[in-house]
Amino acid sequence: MKQMCDWVYGFPYRYRRLIAVGIVILCWTIRKTRNETCFQGNYPKDPAYIVFLLCHWLKYWAGLQKSSEKEKLLSGVYLIQTVNFITETSAVRFPQ
């Protein structure tokens, strides 16, 4: 945990809150996906599912932010989706 805090403090002050929100949402997405897999047996069919779930929660939380921070979060979502789309053709698929 200390290493993560040190990493976040390495960014300019104005971005720290957004990075903290992103880290929380990433952890929430991983935990939610793990729980679906462990308790319901729903394995993701594609690694992109996790990325799109992350983007969904980022968009949701963007609505709860101030308007200036909302735009920055939505820009991050767009960037993540763009990178995921570009790399999706070479993505590794989970076994069925």
Residue 73 is assigned to a structural domain of this protein: yes
12 sits in the region (left: phi over 0; alpha: psi -120 to 50; else beta) called beta
Sign for the pseudo-dihedral over CA of 25, 26, 31, 32: positive
Average pLDDT over the chain, rounded to whole? 81
Residue 93 is assigned to a structural domain of this protein: no
Residue 56 is assigned to a structural domain of this protein: yes
Residue 92 is assigned to a structural domain of this protein: no
Q: What is the pTM of this model?
A: 0.71
Structure tokens at 38: 């462990």
Based on C-alpha coordinates, what's the Rg of the chain? Answer: 15
Residue 69 is assigned to a structural domain of this protein: yes
Q: In whole angstroms, what is the distance from residue 88 CA to residue 66 CA? A: 32
- 26-40 pLDDT, tens per residue? 899 999 999 999 999
Domain that holds residue 79: 15-87
Q: How many domains does the chain have?
A: 1
